[in-house]
């Protein structure tokens, strides 16, 4: 009895175990079939498939006439998969000996590259191989060897547009300039292709249904004209080299739209060689280097005072014969001595004392409000990275002298671009304009995807009659009678203002070095362009002068002459007919 019960118990346990095992097996089959089917299908597909990433072509950057400033060309790179080569003895040596003659890379170097690779799935052996090398690689059957498509970014204009375009780094990512600002638009989207592979993981077919094509980047059309850019670059560089200056900037702007026709910052650089360029050289000083503007600020403050009715056009100011002992003592540049001057004469002769007295008539609050109205101490919003806002101290930080110093361009920091915009407001009759450098975004069929030009004439900030008087009466006479005579044109009336600004160093002015500036435009009755040139630290020891009228005004004259002729605003000068006997 006991033996029978024992046998029954053993059989029961055995059957129970058998049922549990079969139950577990059935559950596992069910789990694999219904719950983990997709997981294992995916693993299976990965074993049978290889994935290739198709890189998109980065969009072009074109000037306003469609000239190519930046473009990408297709290149090919040779690569291997180290993990595949290391599966078989001597495979690395076989690969190296086979490839050394084709790629022109020594065999030991190929072995070193493969051995030191930290990525088991990819190591590049040579970039930008020739078409002949690519065809040779396709003919040989080496495990783990491949050729990938890549894109090489080219900048045909080199140094000419370096600060505007910027450059791209690893993976074609924009790192500076327009390449950075519009990176998402230019970059496009990568594609993905799936290949059926054999046991050696060599492609034997394409699964088109599972792939996606790359989407190329969009293109930028700029307001910049590369011909005008070259005019500006050559004129500015010649004068900068002549005076052995530290740096220089120039801007040409359409005063009616705010479009930038040219922008140059020296020293410059070639975007294709950015990796070996000093960091300081890559700075676009038009945007990043605010400075005390000096006398080019005077017409702007005088315009504010006239517009607010605080002074009159014919009102006279005593310029104290060149020295005013009040308010900390104020003198004139070059120790000039002036008596009673009108507003127009103060601008023509660039009187510091006259401007100080205009500042006193305005008062701190009106002067501060005028500065803010013109947008000083705020970024212009140009579509380039790195713009600085400049500096205008809040009223509680003004000293009792500030109201007499700011009117002749001290105690404020203004960027060259802000100055150019302010003079554009004078040139167009008092309208605000927004500086911009991209005109439109277009696709590869030439269709406009987005018009980037801001609305013109966003509102008056100065009465038209005041702006026209300043340009056509005061600033034309600066060129005709005053310090800007070297910007005079033969076939057109130019206008503008010179500036010779002190440089502040450690809270004190450096009386040995200056920033020489001129800003103006032409024609006076309907300005086509506004041009600013500022040259920092022209070398005084050369004995050629250092003032804005001597150094910067001739550059603006050259730029205006070439630009206006190119735009068809003026005709070339007709030479005198030879006298016949």
Q: What structural domains does the chain harbor?
A: 51-222 (3.90.1310.10), 226-272+285-566 (3.40.710.10)
Angle, nearest 10°, between helix axes 91-103 and 107-116?
130
What distance lies between CA 360 and its chain's CA centroid? 40
Residue 122 burial (CB < 10 Å; 0-12/13-18/19+)? middle
Q: Assign 3-state DSSP to the chain and report helix, strand, coil percentages, each to 5.
A: 45, 25, 35
Six-digit token pair at 251?
Answer: 């801007």
Q: Supply the pLDDT for residue 46.
A: 54
CB atoms within 10 A of CB 36: 12
Report d(CA 212, CA 190) in Å as an integer. 8
Q: Could you tell me if 535 and 551 are in contact, meaning their C-beta atoms sit under 8 angstroms apart?
A: yes
What DSSP string describes 39-72?
A: HHHHHHHHHHEEEEEEPPPPPPEE-TT--EEEEE
The 10 Å CB-count burial string (b at 16+, else e) for 338-372 is beebbbbbbbbbbbbbbbbbbbbbbeeebbbebbe
Report d(CA 552, CA 293) in Å as an integer. 13
Total-model pTM: 0.84
Residue where the block lists tokens 């809040």: 394
| Pairing between β-strand 495-505 and β-strand 412-413 as defined by DSSP bridges | unpaired
Q: Could you tell me if 336 and 349 are in contact, meaning their C-beta atoms sit under 8 angstroms apart?
A: yes
Residues 6+ apart with CB under 8 A from 443: 218, 219, 449
Q: Supply the pLDDT for residue 578.
A: 40
Q: Could you tell me if 520 and 530 are in contact, meaning their C-beta atoms sit under 8 angstroms apart?
A: yes
Terminal-to-terminal C-alpha distance of the chain = 156
Nearest alpha carbon to residue 519 among 490, 484, 546: 484
Q: Supply the pLDDT for residue 110.
A: 86
* Mean pLDDT in order along the chain per 10 residues (581 residues): 70 79 76 67 56 81 97 88 79 85 88 85 85 83 80 94 94 93 93 61 50 87 98 98 97 97 97 92 96 97 97 95 91 90 96 97 97 96 96 96 96 98 97 96 93 81 97 97 94 96 87 95 97 97 94 98 95 47 32
Q: Could you tell me if 382 and 287 are in contact, meaning their C-beta atoms sit under 8 angstroms apart?
A: yes
Preceding omega of 239 cis (within 30 degrees of 0): no
Nearest alpha carbon to residue 327 among 399, 393, 413: 399
CB atoms within 10 A of CB 237: 18
Q: Supply the pLDDT for residue 334.
A: 82
Could you say which DSSP state residue 321 is in?
G
Q: Supply the pLDDT for residue 475.
A: 98
Q: Where are the beta strands (DSSP E) in 68-189?
A: 68-80, 123-126, 145-154
Six-digit token pair at 387?
Answer: 């713009």
Q: Supply the pLDDT for residue 41.
A: 61
Six-digit token pair at 194?
Answer: 């799936």
| Pairing between β-strand 219-222 and β-strand 61-62 as defined by DSSP bridges | parallel
**Per-residue CA distances from 282 to 27, 56, 167, 307, 388 (Å):** 67, 27, 10, 40, 15
CB atoms within 10 A of CB 180: 19
What DSSP string describes 490-525?
A: SSS--EEEEEEEEEEETTEEEEEEEEEEEEEEE-SS
Kindly compute the dihedral angle of the four CA atoms of residues 231, 233, 234, 236, in this order, to the nearest 10 degrees.
110
Report d(CA 556, CA 563) in Å as an integer. 10
Q: Could you tell me if 534 and 291 are in contact, meaning their C-beta atoms sit under 8 angstroms apart?
A: yes
Gyration radius from the chain CA atoms: 35
Helical residues (DSSP H) of 166-225, grouped into ranges: 177-181, 183-187
Q: Where are the beta strands (DSSP E) in 55-118?
A: 61-62, 68-80
CB atoms within 10 A of CB 290: 21
CB atoms within 10 A of CB 37: 11
| Pairing between β-strand 529-536 and β-strand 219-222 as defined by DSSP bridges | unpaired
Six-digit token pair at 411?
Answer: 């105690």
């Amino acid at each position: 009895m006991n033996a029978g019960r024992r046998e029954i118990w053993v059989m029961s346990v055995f059957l129970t175990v058998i049922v549990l095992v079969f139950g577990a097996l059935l559950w596992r089959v069910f789990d694999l079939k219904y719950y983990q089917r997709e997981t294992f299908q995916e693993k299976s597909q990965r074993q049978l498939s290889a994935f290739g990433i198709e890189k998109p072509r980065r969009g072009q950057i074109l000037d306003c006439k469609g000239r190519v400033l930046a473009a990408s060309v297709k290149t090919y790179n040779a690569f291997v998969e180290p993990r595949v080569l290391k599966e078989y003895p001597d495979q690395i040596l076989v690969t190296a000996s086979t490839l050394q003659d084709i790629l022109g890379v020594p065999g030991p170097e190929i072995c070193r590259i493969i051995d030191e690779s930290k990525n088991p799935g990819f190591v590049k052996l040579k970039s930008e191989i020739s078409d002949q090398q690519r065809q040779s690689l396709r003919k040989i059957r080496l495990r783990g060897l491949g050729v990938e498509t890549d894109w090489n970014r080219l900048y045909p204009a080199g140094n000419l547009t370096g600060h505007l375009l910027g450059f791209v780094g690893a993976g074609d990512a924009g790192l500076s300039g327009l390449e950075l600002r519009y990176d998402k638009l230019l970059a496009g989207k990568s594609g993905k292709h799936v290949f059926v592979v054999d046991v050696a993981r060599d492609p034997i077919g394409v699964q088109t249904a599972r792939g996606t094509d790359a989407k190329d980047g969009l293109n930028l059309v700029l307001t910049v004209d590369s011909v005008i850019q070259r005019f500006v670059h050559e004129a500015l560089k010649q004068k900068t080299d002549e005076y052995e200056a530290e740096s220089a900037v120039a801007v040409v702007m359409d005063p009616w739209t705010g479009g930038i026709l040219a922008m140059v910052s020296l020293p410059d650089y070639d975007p294709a060689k950015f990796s070996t360029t000093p960091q300081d050289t890559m700075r676009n000083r038009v945007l990043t280097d605010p400075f005390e503007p000096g006398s080019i600020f005077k017409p702007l403050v005088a315009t504010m005072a006239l517009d607010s009715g605080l002074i009159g056009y014919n009102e006279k100011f005593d310029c104290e014969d060149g020295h005013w002992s009040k308010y900390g003592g104020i003198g004139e540049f070059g120790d000039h001595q002036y008596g009673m001057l009108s507003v127009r004469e103060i601008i023509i002769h660039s009187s510091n004392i006259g401007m100080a007295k205009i500042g006193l008539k305005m008062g701190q609050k009106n002067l501060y409000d005028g500065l803010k109205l013109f947008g000083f101490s705020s970024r212009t919003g140009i579509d380039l990275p790195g713009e600085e806002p400049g500096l205008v101290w809040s009223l509680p930080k003004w000293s009792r002298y500030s109201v007499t110093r700011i009117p002749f361009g001290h105690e404020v920091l203004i960027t060259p671009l802000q100055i150019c915009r302010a003079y554009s407001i004078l040139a167009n009759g008092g309208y605000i304009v927004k500086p911009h450098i991209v005109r439109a975004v277009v696709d590869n069929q030439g269709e406009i995807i987005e018009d980037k030009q801001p609305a013109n004439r966003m509102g008056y900030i100065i009465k038209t009659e005041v702006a026209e008087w300043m340009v056509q009466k005061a600033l034309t006479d600066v060129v005709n009678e005053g310090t800007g005579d070297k910007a005079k044109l033969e076939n057109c009336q130019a206008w503008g203002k010179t500036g010779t600004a002190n440089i502040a160093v450690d809270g004190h002015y450096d009386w040995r070095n200056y920033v020489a500036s001129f800003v103006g435009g032409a024609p006076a009755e309907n300005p086509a362009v506004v041009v600013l040139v500022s040259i920092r630290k022209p070398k005084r020891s050369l004995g050629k002068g250092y003032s804005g009228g001597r150094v910067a005004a001739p550059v603006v004259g050259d730029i205006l002459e070439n630009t206006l002729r190119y735009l068809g605003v003026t005709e070339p000068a007709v030479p005198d007919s030879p006298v016949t006997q």
